[in-house]
Structure 1
């Protein structure tokens, strides 16, 4: 573990004021509005670096801020995240002076988020140190990175696995190095200027092949276009890899993976990567959906389980039967493999105990991750054995 970045007094002041801010209704949305107002007032030319609609950008920014502040006492996790974020922002053309302007705007917004009596000179100094670390880490990582800011890729297959879910396969012009379990940002020709995060569902390979599982978000801008409009031959742009979900093969601990819907992708990629190794820890993969039909990739997982005795796949559906309008019968479970369970996936997993002796990964929607974390903690699972990506 890395040495602490901040001294105890700085951490106490930041923790106390962050707790005070977070307790206020809609503090994060007010912080974001103030940040953009301050940033664009001082640097009107920077507005061109942002999309016309700031809603998605605001959500990602607030998620990143919360993630950093929640992990301010875990230097390894915080610095890794900030470094990756800095490298990822190169695709927007962000330079060091832009980070410095953002840091000034963020500090000004933070100062306005507390009553004057609470924002003392010592508190100001503590937050200035934290914001300076955030800005400096991102800018340094951006300056030091030698890989491209993004890669271009061609769609070679588009499969509608469900009416609202597509599997998209692409070939990248130049192979992109990423670790199984990471996620990337993508931009599609139908929605120029909008970037969205998706996890590759297969490990990196020297041929530049990559696969994404995308489910349509009803109110989304990008996912409906990917599911309904993407065609073979489309040219996508893919940003630098992010995230740190990974199995520690040296930890001498077995693994629990919990996935809901297309959250399966980063866990699937890791399992495929592990299948190419000789020795692995035991892995229990619980994969869930609302209905049995939502377990869209079970046959692939069953093939992996049948050829890798260290892998156990447990399908879970909240409802035991498909809706009446679904005419495709569920696939038959191969002999010797686990039958489908039903119920909320977090509750089902927690019913087996605390899993405290495992490395645990959770991947799915923000609400699924939160409810699963709650269920596991109620069952006695220590928080430090659980990993998940920032909840964008």
Structure 2
């Protein structure tokens, strides 16, 4: 295993263990998690693998096979760049009073670059999972996910919801993970596409537009402002959409319309999956994309072209997935239309002089686990 060989090379010893945590793709339920709403992600086959050994001196040594030079941290506060995602987990656990000592860590990631498949959450979760086992912290998988989220919120400074980390920690192979982001209750929903002659294609645009993180924070603030104006704790509590929209204007009105209808779409998709009507999910993917494009305003031209050309090529439905402003779209496609969809999307990109997007199928994978 490459990560073990690199550990030996870096630290002159065998790692105590090797762990893996996957990235995720969200089937539906976008920008609902930080509104206490519903989400339906699943883990993807790519993620972050970490070879780890504990240290008694509290020092954290990190090496990423993707970024080169190793980092030695006497304190997590010294971390910069990518290392902050890993160091933040040490910081959160120590701040909570857990005996999370030092560690030697080598990580290797194979999440496609620029795809928006949450490699950062995978990194946080794999470190948290390893520390939980190495130091006998006794945390549940959800508690590991919450520690990882807190690291990203409070240490890295990205105000993400819980979805990415929870999907990485809790997902099961062949299942989508339904989560109520208020109660943190989860249920596995069977998602066997092959049984229905379907594939879920990820269309990785490879683009990431500037200001995306700032725009994300603005959307979250819009939602919080609207909730205050409506007198509810979070937008998931809005039950009279027409009445709520009548009280709002501008951006807040549009954000509320998206969040409330997106929560309903999550519940509708679950109903279809349980009924075995998987092909009918496509129409809800289309509706989700239009809402994200027009009401939440987090799409971009590359994502719109990917979605529109996939549907024109025969996809049952398609939408952008993730935070937006770049990254990936997903398309639900019958087996016999996969090549048609590929040709339609790559042709549309070629017509505009854009680099061809990467297109690959994603099957629901297992969540964070120890490999050796």
- On whether the aligned pair clears a TM of 0.5, the verdict is no
Q: Which has the larger radius of gyration?
A: 1
Considering Cα pairs closer than 8 Å and 6+ residues apart, tell me whether 1 or 2 has the greater RCO.
2
What TM-score, normalized by structure 1, do the two folds share? 0.29
What TM-score, normalized by structure 2, do the two folds share? 0.30
Flag the structure with higher strand content: 2
